[in-house]
Every structure is written in C-alpha cells, then in structure tokens.
Structure 1
C-alpha cells in the first residue's frame, strides 16, 4: 500500500514514545485497593487501559469515580517523572523528524494534559511539537475526532490521509479512522490475526528507526 505523503504526524505518548506501564499500573493498583477492589495484574493493565480516566473511571468505579480519580492522579504524580523512560530510538526519531521541512509533529494522548506536558518538558521534547494534547484538553478525549482537530488547530493542516496517527493500541487506530487520518501501528509485535478486525490499519512498523525511515521514504 502506498501511503499518503505526510504533512503532519500525531503520536500517541504512553508506550509509543515513552515506557510508562509500570507507573500507570502502580497508580491504578493503588486506586483499586483504596476503593476496596481487586487490582488488575500488569498483563491486565496492559490489555485494558485505553481510555482516559474521564471516560473509563465512571465505567470502572461508578459513583466513586471522583474519589478514584483523585487517588489515581495523586499516586501517579508522586513519581511519574522519576520513572519516565523514553522508548528505544524515540529521541533520535523525534529529533530527526522535527528537522524535516514542512512536517509538523503533535501528540494526542489520553494522559491528563497537564501531566503530558510536564513529561515532555522533563525530557526536553516539547520543542519538537506544535501541540501536546492530553485528556480534558479538548471537549472529548481519544478516540473522538474532535481531539485531532484540536491538536491541528492553527497548524494550517486539516485532518485527513496526509495526517499520520501513530500509536501502539486499538484506540489509536480507531482515532485515526474516526478522523480520516492514516493509521500507523508502532510497536515491536506485528498485529495478531483478527486483532484489529474491522478497524483500519494502514501500516505497521516495529520500532522508531523503522518509522523514521518510512516517513523519509514517503516524503521523496
């Protein structure tokens, strides 16, 4: 498949650019325990965490969603910067892509926007992006198409095939599909049979170096 020439690349954040499963799992386990619930295993956390807390906590905790949100973010904020680890090749990839003319980079994450921007600033990556959009920044969170429009606002670029949406989970692909963008799966494991059945997937790359090469080739 020939991909549309990219004018903008929108990245997911957690576990696309940075490794954050351990800190997310710890904060979620603490939340379950504080509310008298059985915590998930790490494998369950990796499989189930997709939506923002704004969207998922009412489903998980019902009328105690507000209490759960407070516990989760208090726990997460206590040590998330100390445990922040870029994924292999992410820094070099972002540096190289940011230097390409006429290519804009952005982030759309379901991490709370204030925390997302703190992490980007901590890594010194904020300079690479025209926008860093997290949960609660737009009227709706990922996978709603409104969040993509919010991220592109002021860039002169509209959502469409020339915007590549890059992530590691199904919700990223759904967001790309909902907004009419090109859907790129960035993770070591190739899609399993029927894993994304019914959801558009335009390309899979196993690592950051491979994605950089894909962009460069598509710009020629």
Structure 2
C-alpha cells in the first residue's frame, strides 16, 4: 500500500463506499471469456465470423454510448447486441439479442472471482461497525445479480446504481444519493475505494472523500488518478492498514 496524502486518511470514516467492477472483482478476464462465448454463438446462429462481428460490435457500442451519454443504459449489453445485429444487415432480432445478452452475463459471472481478501475485508469493516455502501455504474438488475452471485450483498447498508441515480458516477449524483441513504451529511468523513478516474476524482469532488485507488496486479498501463490519497494492490494490505486507523479511531 502506498500513502500519497496522509492527512485525509488519518481520520476514522463515518462510512466507506466501494465501487464494484475492477475493484472488488476483476472484470477483464471474465469479459474476454464472455465475448468469446458470444462470438461462438453468433457464428453458429447467424453465420457471422468473429472479425465482422467485432467490427459491428465496436461501432454499435460507440453509437449507443454517444446516443445515451453518461447513463446506465449506455452500458447495456442488450442494446449493444441489438444494434450489432442491425449493423450486420439483419433486423433487430429481439430473441437473438436477448440470448446473446444472457450468454454474455452468464459466462462472465461463471468466470468472475472476487479479489483475494475482498470479502474478508468487507466482513471486518462491518464487524468494526462501519456502514458500507456500493456505488456503481450500470443497470440495477445486473449489478444486483453480481452482488448476489458473489454472496456479498448482505455486507452493504446501501447500494446505488447509476440507473437509480439517473446518471453515471462522473455526474456526481450517485455519491450524494449514497450519502443520503446512509443518513450522513456533506461534512461527515467518508472513504471511497475504486479503480477508475470516475471513482476517485468524482467521489472527491462530490463528497470530499478520502480516496483509495485499487490498482491492477501486473499491468504496466495503469496510472495514479488525480487526487488519490492512497493506492493498494491487494485487499489484504488494505485491510491490515485499515486496522491501524479504525482501532486508533
């Protein structure tokens, strides 16, 4: 664990907020497996090879994101697959689009794993009497599925998705909604743990949160985001460090 700004993280927080994707579990590996499963199904059902499918999918995703902006629906795989099928010269094909979406999420969840010590960290923080909240982009249905699949839904006092808030985290509203659900005010000290720029920068802007960036293991491309107070690779080291602050507080 690397401390960048000691002062903001010296105080025991009133609550701790977490991101989900690439924070509590690794997204990229199961995502690749899920897309492989979708490509194979498209090849078998639509006789479309992976190359043309990938090209259409990237275009479809960009179109959906451009049209919907920073909202939960802009991450909706069903919309991506519907538009992909249309770009391949077919009609909308709702049944096939639904099948591809279900294949994607089923495969992703089957291959997804919580990071080591992530659940143990949540358990220990709860045992210390700290309220926990999850603040995450994407639709409520799939994010709730992930929480239940991982068996960690019971650890959170509040869950906020960008679907519920009406805008992604970059729009700040999800953070304020989480604070309201926890019964906290703007001057209450909170921590936010996440991986992306939207997580750490937006949470500091919205809540003046002490920010912790979960960094990927073995990836040369990651960078420390502006305003991050500390970084960590493993939840074991984050948990051990938390003990010193929480016990002292």
Q: Please indicate, yes or no, whether the TM-score normalized by the shorter chain is above 0.5.
A: yes
Which protein has the bigger helix share? 2
1:76 paired residue number: 104
1:47 paired residue number: none
1:149 paired residue number: 176
Deviation, structure 1 residue 37: 3.1
Deviation, structure 1 residue 34: 4.2
2:28 paired residue number: 21
CA distance in structure 2 between the partners assigned to 1:36 and 1:15 by the alignment: 25
Deviation, structure 1 residue 152: 2.6
1:104 to 103, 118, 131: 131
Which protein has the bigger strand share? 1
> Runs of 5+ in structure 1 lacking a partner?
41-50
Give TM-score, length-normalised by structure 2: 0.67
State the secondary structure of the residue aligned to 1:78: helix
> Rg larger in 1 or in 2?
2
CA distance in structure 2 between the partners assigned to 1:77 and 1:52 by the alignment: 19
Contact 1:160 1:182 in 2 (8 A): no
CA distance in structure 1 between the partners assigned to 2:118 and 2:153 by the alignment: 13
CA distance in structure 2 between the partners assigned to 1:115 and 1:137 by the alignment: 13
1:213 to 240, 243, 249: 240
Give the length in aligned residue pairs. 203
Cα distance change, pair 139–36 in 1 and its aligned pair in 2 (3 A): same
Aligned residue runs from structure 1 range 119-198, under 5 A: 119-159=146-186, 162-179=189-206, 180-188=208-216, 195-196=223-224
Give TM-score, length-normalised by structure 1: 0.74
Contact 1:148 1:159 in 2 (8 A): no
Deviation, structure 1 residue 17: 0.8
CA distance in structure 2 between the partners assigned to 1:79 and 1:174 by the alignment: 32
CA distance in structure 2 between the partners assigned to 1:144 and 1:65 by the alignment: 28
Show CA shifts across 1:61-106 (max 9, x none).
8xx59979x67744432323322211111111111111112x1111
1:45 paired residue number: none
> Runs of 5+ in structure 2 lacking a partner?
1-5, 40-50, 60-69, 88-96
State the secondary structure of the residue aligned to 2:143: helix
